[in-house]
Amino acid sequence: MAVLTHVLACIFGIGSWMSINGVWVELPVLVNVLPEAWYLPSYLIIIIQLANVGPLFITLMHKWKPGLLSEVLVICIVVSTGVVACFLLAFLWHYTMEFGGARHSVAFFILTFCLSLVDCTSSVTFLPFMARFHPRYITSYFIGEGLSGLVPALFALAQGAGISSCVEVAIPSNHTHRSNATLGNVSAGDPIPFRLETRYSPANFSSLVFFLILSGLMFSCLVAFFFLNRLPRVWDLSEQKLCASEITLHSIRKIPADGGLKEGFTNFPVEGKAESCSKEDEEGAPEKVVYSWTTLAFMYVLITWCSSLMYGILPSVQSYSCLPYSNLAYHLSTTLGAMAVPLACSISTFLPSRSLAFLSVLAFTGTAFGAYNMGMAALSPCPPLNHSEWGDALIVISWVLFNGTLAYVKVMLGVILRGHSQSALVWYGAMEQLGGLLGAVIMFPLVNVYSIFKSADYCSFRCPA
């Protein structure tokens, strides 16, 4: 039963951010078809941030009207919406309509907003639901949450989305001067028989198939939630059967995460004590750990900081950070970086650390790797070791360690807060969303309005010596 619960928790976690991650990794295919072209990511950033009304509503309801919203019902609606939106997206993503004097992908934007609403709301609903399980299953959930980025990325790689190569193209004599100007570091009088252009390989399967796969994976998340929702009741019944009339409730009951009695227990004293019941309860409901407000505030600040780096600031400039080196460096940094998240979650299972001092040092280390990535993006399109294998290796390693270290910090903070209360996990999700929102708000004008970061075609552009 324990192994099955780990698997179900992992599948449930995969559905947390998989749909919107799937849309992002599919962008290299979509931008070649939709009328917004390369402006499409900037539109999606706005849409995703608008979807934060979902977690904001849930958080306020939890604060002012606790117990009014049914947690199970909300999750059922959220995940079902993700299944339907992914299915409709497979058939409607390419439909456009005239709006504001230009054609826009209205159907794609509406369905993407629904998927963003699903994923953003999962941060404040999925974790509190997992709080009713033993903390070891929280780690499995975080592994699944990490895989929510890796799984669609692997399908995108299999699809061949965004895979490119440099192709030699002959230059007609009447276009020589314009081509020299494009190359930048070649004088107008030098003869150039050819130039290099970036060519994207055709996808191995269509976007329709890709979104149908996402819909199927979201449906598996719904099925996993269905069975997870049944397991606690079975366990409570087994505890009730083990704790016969000769067992003293007070002698075996630990304080559960929500501070109240677990469902299935009665509230009358009886005599005696059973070893089997004590052991079951010891494994199923650890004692509540109370932290001071200053300690909680520090942990929430740390969560917000890590989330702003992982979900807002650094992803906004990853292309500027990696593409000046090579397309291979970009794909490896995204894929291996996504793999680093579930790996960090697995490490936290075998090497857990609840020391806030150690987690703070680790967060600082991850921030240092993020600063290196940001520095390379700021120096785009001519960062150090450009067109060098050493530069490729360093930027990939930096992105992997950046994701891995901060993911470990977030997982352990989630485990720590789980021992405090279920409400603490709700605020964990709220701070996670707040961090991503702040990061996106900061980076959007820098990237899209002020154009601080410069891009260039990898194949045709050559940095000056």
Name the more confident of 268 and 108: 108
Lowest mean pLDDT among 210-219, 243-252, 309-318: 243-252
Structure tokens at 152: 């669609």
Cβ–Cβ < 8 Å for 424, 299: no
**Has residue 130 got a pLDDT over 60?**
yes
User: Looking at the DSSP assignment, which residues form a beta bridge with residue 97?
Assistant: 104
Cβ–Cβ < 8 Å for 432, 303: yes
The burial of 12, by beta-carbon neighbours within 10 Å (0-12 exposed, 13-18 middle, 19 or more buried), is given as buried
Residue 373 banded pLDDT, cuts 50, 70, 90: very high
**DSSP 8-state class, residue 255:** P
CA dist., res. 19 & res. 112, Å (int) = 9
Cβ–Cβ < 8 Å for 212, 85: no
pLDDT per position as a tens digit, 220-267: 999 999 999 887 544 443 333 333 333 333 332 333 333 333 333 333
Q: What is the pLDDT of residue 280?
A: 38
pLDDT per position as a tens digit, 327-372: 777 777 877 887 787 788 778 777 888 889 999 999 999 999 999 9
Residue linked to tokens 């050493």: 390
Lowest mean pLDDT among 3-7, 84-88, 259-263, 356-360: 259-263
**Has residue 18 got a pLDDT over 70?**
yes
Cβ–Cβ < 8 Å for 278, 284: no
Residue 23, SS3? helix
CA dist., res. 117 & res. 20, Å (int) = 9
Most confident of 19-28, 81-90, 139-148, 386-395: 81-90
Sign of the Cα pseudo-torsion (413, 414, 415, 417, in order): positive
Q: What is the pLDDT of residue 70?
A: 81
Residue 33 banded pLDDT, cuts 50, 70, 90: confident
Residue 174 banded pLDDT, cuts 50, 70, 90: low
**Has residue 277 got a pLDDT over 60?**
no
**Has residue 461 got a pLDDT over 60?**
yes
Q: What is the pLDDT of residue 288?
A: 63
CA dist., res. 371 & res. 369, Å (int) = 5
Longest dimension (CA), the chain: 99
**Has residue 203 got a pLDDT over 60?**
yes
The DSSP line for 53-81 is: HHHHHHHHHHHHSTTSS-HHHHHHHHHHH
Residue 293, SS3? helix
pTM: 0.69
Q: What is the pLDDT of residue 366?
A: 96
CA dist., res. 111 & res. 82, Å (int) = 9
pLDDT per position as a tens digit, 290-302: 778 899 999 999 9
